[in-house]
Structure 1
Amino acid sequence: MRVLYLFDTTDRAESESVIEMASHGVVPTIVCQPDAPMRGRFEAAGLEVIPVAMRSKADRAAIAALRRLRRERTFDLVHAYYKIALTNYNLAAVGLPRVPVVAYRGIIGNLSYWDPFSWLSFLDPRIERIVCVCEAIRRYFLDKPFLPGTRLFRPERVVTIHKGHRPAWYQQPDARLPADLAIPQGAPVIGCVARMKKRKGIVELIRAFEQIPAEHNAHLVLIGPIEYPAIEQAAAHSPAADRIRITGYRADAPKIAGAFDIATLPSLRREGLPRAIIEAMAQGIPAVVSDSGGNPELVEDGVSGRVTPAGDVDALAAALRELVADPALRGRLGAAAHERIATRLTVERTARETLALYAGVLGQRSGEPAA
């Protein structure tokens, strides 16, 4: 099976899944940005990589390169992992013999019937399958109305396949809290790594943190660019301000996050399958998340962490307070979190499910029953 894989940058989980599929008979041709982080990994695995710079959703040079590739090569299937790659490919393929396209989707929302580029990507009815990283994204597609009383997306067209991971990728043997954060030794640390937007629920997190009794000496660390000024205002005026640290972007964020006692992401809406929580769980750090989007697909409430209703400050405070006060509970939930990533969200499982999807698509195209 000859598959053309279209990337913009490259994500480790996606890339390792492609490498795993190559070990099961797929012959990949990989298109990605020249400086894509995983390009060297692909090449070391013996896979063909064709670097193509894509600077926009309709990059003339990229379109020409993809069109030339399609004319020169024969592919059984195209799998696009990024929207920018998908739109450029769909423009390049105009007038060429049709090859089935599979597209990956990792976020909820940002698709408009009034946006021409949405029709060149996920709204394009010619796309055979849309692979969603979590069930919440699949439900978004299925619930999206089209004309009155109709839906654009049939259930069989949209599928959920979780990304696969290996805990070893995320281990931080030198994890530490840097001295500039001035956190007392032994103080429980609650951490959140994210782009600090309004929908991430950070103001609500600060309000919840204020309810943790001061005698626990818990500290809250917020890592990521601030895109919602109310976050800094809430922290500055908080009665717990002396125990809140806002770092902004940090190049050493993985090392800091590896030293958290509790990871949290209390998103209000539109959450996918957050990598920051996966990385924490892989390191045995229990997570407290909201029930937004794919969070409940990662964290089993009371088993590998805690799940609270999105926007419910009191419920979030209770979950955080429970874990801050009970190191043994943190240990049990953290161990279960590591086990969940190690056994349920594996590269091998992702590759197996993706190969089954390919077989179904190609079977349908040839008139055979879908797998």
Structure 2
Amino acid sequence: MKILHICALGGTAETLLLPQIKYFLSQKLEVEIACSPGKEVEELQNKGYKVHPINIERKISLISTLKSTYQLTKIIQKNQYDLVHVHTPIAAFLGRIAAKIAGVKRIVYTSHGLPFHDLSTPTKYKFYFIIEKLAALITDLILSQNYEDITTATKLSLCPPEKLGYLGNGIDINIFQRDRLNASHQNKLRKSLGIPDTADLIIGTIGRLTRKKGSEYLIEATAKLIPQFPNLHTLVIGSECIGDPEPIQAQLIEQIYTLGIENHVTLTGERQDVPELLGLLDIFTLPTFTHEGLPRSILEAMSMSLPVVATDIRGCREAVVHRKTGLIVPYQNSDKLAEALGTLLSNSQLRQAYGKASRERVEAEYDEELVFQRLVQFYKELGIVFP
């Protein structure tokens, strides 16, 4: 049977969807991808994955929206998929319309965080809610990465309750495992990043360099912490995405130099060695705001036995258990972020206890094998037959 995954960015397919795709390919299903062109798409194609490059904007524009929908419809009609599985808000909306026009019998949507949220303006909240509610009419199954979105969708009557399912999120806990790290390699990695030999405490974050990830609050918090922890270093792991509506790299660089902390902060750019980078850290933090599903970066850090400081938003507060695996702080508040980080920086025993509990929680709740098992069951209930 044939499945098509649709998302906006090749990076999403490569980072978030590839584990699922690999699994279902191993189960002898035909699995393909449709997303915007780019180097990630070329890399996936070179590895043998079947990817259809379709330009999908991350903001709504009438001409580009119609064009993308038309191209998606043609691809779906040509390849006669048994199931179309959509991701990310705009790509999910267009993908569902195209799948419906093309006569696909099974349409599944994974919500990586509902696009209407606490910080939305009333106009945006209403707009995205209407979009999601209309799209739900032509969706057979809506899967959520967190329980909170299921509660919200049910409360707001986004769709009939029987259309909702909990998928969760997961990672390969064997790859993200501290025991795999090589001490010599870690020392070389540290030097290659320009981390001073004197740096005895390292905090870090992972995410696109976009406004909503909140990296500027981490930079502010770092500046507040340096007087008390003069040998502190901060890693900001990630890069800007082409077409991102709110890029922030230039602002971060200016902020770092304005605060005079350029010797205490490293912007790594895009990296493929995330487990090793996490292995350099003493604390992981994600100062994100607006909306999240269930951040993969937090799960990766927890799997590497790190304590986590995260913001009080959906997804983050579900993954991190306050005062057990880490600390939850208000979003967009560098003072509270610095205070929480300072608490952990000054107490190695607390860091170790939270880190141990983090690893145990990931093993029990967020192993990607659990996600695969749930997805297999959902697909079977929709009539997908496994060879």
TM-score, normalised with respect to structure 2? 0.73
Q: Distance in 1 between matches of 2:290 and 2:127?
A: 22
The answer to whether residue 180 in structure 2 is matched with residue 181 in structure 1 is no
Q: Distance in 2 between matches of 1:67 and 1:192?
A: 42
- How do residues 21-100 of structure 1 correspond to structure 2 at under 5 angstroms? 28-32=29-33, 35=41, 50-56=50-56, 58-59=67-68, 60=70, 62-70=72-80, 75=82, 77-81=83-87, 84=91, 87-88=94-95, 90-91=97-98, 93-94=100-101, 96=103, 99-100=105-106
Q: Secondary structure at the match of 2:302?
A: helix
Instruction: Using the TM superposition, give the Cα deviation of residue 224 of structure 1 relative to its aligned residue in structure 2, in angstroms.
Output: 3.1
367, 375, 378: which one pairs with 1:354?
375
226, 232, 251: which one pairs with 1:218?
232
Identify the residue that residue 167 of structure 2 maps to in structure 1.
Answer: 161
- Write the deviation string for residues 189-220 of structure 1: whole angstroms up to 9, x where unpaired: 11122223333233332333334363532222
Shifted more, 169-178 versus 306-315: the winner is 169-178
Instruction: Using the TM superposition, give the Cα deviation of residue 288 of structure 1 relative to its aligned residue in structure 2, in angstroms.
Output: 0.9
Rate the CA distance shift 1:36–1:163 in 2: closer, same or farther, 3 A. farther
Q: Distance in 2 between matches of 1:302 and 1:65?
A: 49
Identify the residue that residue 220 of structure 2 maps to in structure 1.
Answer: 207
| Contact 1:221–1:246 under 8 Å retained in 2 | yes
- How do residues 8-19 of structure 1 correspond to structure 2 at under 5 angstroms? 8=7, 9=10, 10-11=13-14, 14-18=17-21
Rate the CA distance shift 1:249–1:140 in 2: closer, same or farther, 3 A. farther
| Contact 1:12–1:38 under 8 Å retained in 2 | no
Q: Distance in 1 between matches of 2:239 and 2:51?
A: 30
Larger radius of gyration: 1
Instruction: Using the TM superposition, give the Cα deviation of residue 95 of structure 1 relative to its aligned residue in structure 2, in angstroms.
Output: 6.1
Identify the residue that residue 247 of structure 1 maps to in structure 2.
Answer: 267
Identify the residue that residue 105 of structure 1 maps to in structure 2.
Answer: 111
- Write the deviation string for residues 243-297 of structure 1: whole angstroms up to 9, x where unpaired: 5314262446624343111111112321232222222222222211111220122
350, 355, 360: which one pairs with 1:329?
350
Instruction: Using the TM superposition, give the Cα deviation of residue 308 of structure 1 relative to its aligned residue in structure 2, in angstroms.
Output: 1.5
Q: Distance in 2 between matches of 1:122 and 1:4?
A: 23
* One-letter identity of the residue aligned with 1:52: H
Q: Distance in 2 between matches of 1:344 and 1:199?
A: 26
Seq. identity, %: 19
The RMSD of aligned alpha carbons is 3.6
Identify the residue that residue 277 of structure 2 maps to in structure 1.
Answer: 256
Higher helix share: 2
| Contact 1:20–1:348 under 8 Å retained in 2 | no
The answer to whether residue 363 in structure 2 is matched with residue 342 in structure 1 is yes
Structure 2: runs of 5+ lacking an equivalent: 57-64, 117-123, 241-246
Rate the CA distance shift 1:325–1:4 in 2: closer, same or farther, 3 A. same
Q: Distance in 2 between matches of 1:162 and 1:36?
A: 29
| Contact 1:52–1:62 under 8 Å retained in 2 | no
* One-letter identity of the residue aligned with 2:307: P
| Contact 1:54–1:84 under 8 Å retained in 2 | no
* One-letter identity of the residue aligned with 2:137: P
Q: Distance in 1 between matches of 2:20 and 2:239?
A: 30
Q: Secondary structure at the match of 1:181?
A: coil
| Contact 1:289–1:295 under 8 Å retained in 2 | yes
Q: Secondary structure at the match of 1:219?
A: strand
- Write the deviation string for residues 343-369 of structure 1: whole angstroms up to 9, x where unpaired: 311233212322333455559xxxxxx
Identify the residue that residue 303 of structure 2 maps to in structure 1.
Answer: 282
Q: Distance in 1 between matches of 2:46 and 2:254?
A: 43
* One-letter identity of the residue aligned with 2:106: P
* One-letter identity of the residue aligned with 2:233: H
301, 306, 316: which one pairs with 2:322?
301
May I ask how many residue pairs the two structures share in their alignment? 340
Instruction: Using the TM superposition, give the Cα deviation of residue 127 of structure 1 relative to its aligned residue in structure 2, in angstroms.
Output: 0.2
